[in-house]
Amino acid sequence: MKVTNYISEAFTELKENVSWPEWAEVQRLTIIVAVFSLLFALITFGVDKGFEAIMAKLYAFLKN
């Protein structure tokens, strides 16, 4: 009974007391997050490839 009451009160809280953002703001913020996520992924990829090249040269140098 306590779990059911808790879930019911949680939904009531979400419907009545939470101020939800406007749809336009949600779309704008979603685009901003997607762009920064893509940018961060590209930077991480570049750093990874850079370290890969450095390690390959180091191993080739040490092999000789």
pTM of the model: 0.65
pLDDT tens for each residue of the chain, 64 residues long = 889 999 999 999 999 998 989 999 999 999 999 999 999 999 999 999 999 999 999 999 999 7
Structure tokens at 47: 């750093």
23-40: pLDDT as tens digits = 999 999 999 999 999 999
Helices (H) and strands (E) in the chain, counts: 2, 0
pLDDT of residue 1: 80
